Structure formats: C-alpha cells, structure tokens
Amino acid sequence: MSTALPHPDAITGALLVGTWASSLVYMAELLEAVKYFRAFKKDDWKLKSYIAVVFGIDTISAIGDYACVYLYTITHAGDLVYLTKQNWAVPLYVISTTCVAFLVQSFLAFMYWRFTKNTIFVCFLSILILGAFGGGLSAGLTVTLFPAYKDRNKARIPGTIWIGTQLAADLTIAGALVLELMKAKSLFKGERRVNNMLNRLVSHTIRTGTATAVIAVVALIIFLIDDETNIPNGILYTSGRVYVLSMLINLNIRDSFGRPQNWTTSSGPRGTVRGAHGTTYNFSTVQFCPTEPHSSNSESIKSSAWLPTLQSPANISDTQPLDIEMMPTDTKQGVPEV
C-alpha cells in the first residue's frame, strides 16, 4: 500500500472549511428550532416529533463531521496510512444527510399534496425522493466497504444518482410550490397584505430551493472531475443544515406575518380575530383559510402549513375546529378597534 501523503488541502483542509461553514448554518438552524418550539406549542405532537427527529439526525450528522476532522488532524496526525482511507465519520455523514434530505423533501411533497391534491405529480416527486434516498444509502454503504481513497471510483455511480436525483427533487419541489403560490395570488387581487405575504413566500421558496440545488450541483461537478478529493464532502457538510433550516423557516414564517392594525382580538374558547374588510380568515397550526362570506361561487383550494386557501362558507362548517378564527366585524360598527 502506498504511504505517500495525500495533499492536505484536498483531504483535511476541505473538510475543515466545511465544518466552519456547517457551524454557521447550524447556529441559524438551532435558533429557528428554538423559535419553533417556543412559538408553536399548540402544533400537533406528530409534527413536533417529526421536527425533533429531523433536527436530531442532523445534529448527529454535524457531530460526525467534527469527529471526521478531529480524527484526521489530531488523533491520527502524521499517520500516512490512515490519511489514505476514509474514516467511519464519512459514511455516517453521507447516510445521515441522505436521511435528512429524505425527511425534509417528503414533508414538502406532503404539503404540496395537501395544497393541490395532485396525486400523480406527488407520485413523480416520490420517485425522485426515493431515488435520492436509495442513491445516498448505496453511496454510504460503498464507502463503508471500500474506504480507501483509491477506491472512490466505486462510489461514482451511486454518488451521482444520489446527488443528481436530490438536485432534481429540490428544483421540482421549489418550482411546483412557486407555481401554486403564483396561482394563489390571482385569488387575492386587491388584497395588498395577502399579496405581500405571498410574494415573501415565493421569494423564500426560490431562495431555499436554489440554495440546496447549488450545493448539490457544485459538489456533483467537483466529484465527477476528481473523485479522490474531499472538496465535495466539505461542500455537502452544509447540505443537511440547509435542508432543516429551510423546513423550520417554512414553519416559523407563520409567526412573521403579524396582524394588521385593523384587526382586534376577542375572547372565546378558540380565540377570534376580526377583520374590517368583510373577509373571514381561519388560521390553524396546519392551514389557514380566508373566506369571502358574501360570495356564493368562491373557488376552493386546499392549503399547506404556509399556503393561503380560499373556501366557500359552506365548506367551513365541514372542516375541523381551528385554533384561531378570524371573523369579519359587524359593518355597522364602522372601523374596529386597533
């Protein structure tokens, strides 16, 4: 076996820089997680458990990244034979990042299905998500069985499938959500506040979808050019953090819309918020449904955690009780209290 010292920039340097970037994103992720569990205590326990599991797996992945660098630079510093192999933390990061991406993409796909009920398209998304999941697990298993850097070419096919299908899934989900949000804007012509909210959602969806896609495509290109360098690994160190961060922001954005100044809150078992424009808004931790009480032919759309819906009054009574209900004020009372 060759004991030639690999170039430290490509082996340990790329991983070290990757942990620095990962730490910055993880701090933002941690703040969003604390914000979510503090602000949305009434969310369904299943959703909160799901978030906790995703966050926990990503935390394990981040710890594994630090362990990988520590083993290379401290524990086995100067060990030329050790530097020619990928330690146990490398497949750990591949498998954990794959699991995080799978859970977050599945969550977004489910939210899209709740919004559109487009089962055929969601099945297509599921194929991409499962393809990325299988490719990632295969890549992690290959690295476990063939840890030497000279054998990295054995992971080329599963690694390409993993990153390629993950990239396709990210872009497809982001594009589909943006398209549905743009369609929703046509239902709220003249509603400046709602349109501003939708514009923010569109902007956020594009940013998060683009971020994960850029990370994936840059890592894939570098890996195909040189499969013995750790630069793709260093880049992908931030991937899991970005996925979880985008998921948490999608949930926490519900708290950032605030409340218009012409709404008042009245007491009641569910809490009612009254608007002055003859529009009824029903908010829950899973969906919110603005309704025009005087329109008999309103269009109906289903909603996800952050997407607005418009329902006819007849449909309101058929839905489950909501946490917050926004009812129109009596028009005879004039402008409601602030």
**Nearest one of 26, 18, 21 to 248, comparing CA atoms:** 26
pLDDT higher than 80, residue 193: no
Q: What is the C-alpha separation between 60 and 54, in angstroms, rounded?
A: 10
What's the residue count for the chain?
338
pLDDT higher than 90, residue 61: yes
Residue 149 has a pLDDT of 86
Host H or E run for residue 246: helix 239-252
Compare 258 and 190 and report the one with higher pLDDT.
Answer: 190
Question: What's the token pair of residue 92?
Answer: 């750990």
- Residue ranges of domains in the chain: 8-255, 264-333
**190-194, 209-213, 276-280: range with highest mean pLDDT:** 209-213
pLDDT higher than 90, residue 240: yes
Kindly list the strands in the beta sheet with 272-275, ordered across the sheet, starting from the edge strand earlier in the chain: 264-266, 272-275, 324-328, 280-283, 288-291
**Nearest one of 125, 115, 107 to 251, comparing CA atoms:** 107
3-state class of 276 per DSSP?
A: coil
3-state class of 283 per DSSP?
A: strand
Mean pLDDT of the chain: 77
pLDDT higher than 50, residue 167: yes
Residue 171 has a pLDDT of 92
- CATH fold for the domain made of 8-255: Rhopdopsin 7-helix transmembrane proteins (1.20.1070)
Write out pLDDT tens, residues 96-133.
999 999 999 999 999 899 888 899 999 999 999 999 99
Average pLDDT (248-253) is 87
Residue 5 has a pLDDT of 53
pLDDT higher than 80, residue 290: no
Other C-beta atoms within 10 Å of 318: how many? 7
Strand ranges (E), the chain = 264-266, 272-275, 280-283, 288-291, 324-328
Residues with Cβ < 8 Å from 150, sequence gap 6 or more? 84, 228
Write out pLDDT tens, residues 33-58.
999 999 999 999 999 999 999 999 99
- pTM value surpassing 0.85: no
Residue 66 has a pLDDT of 96
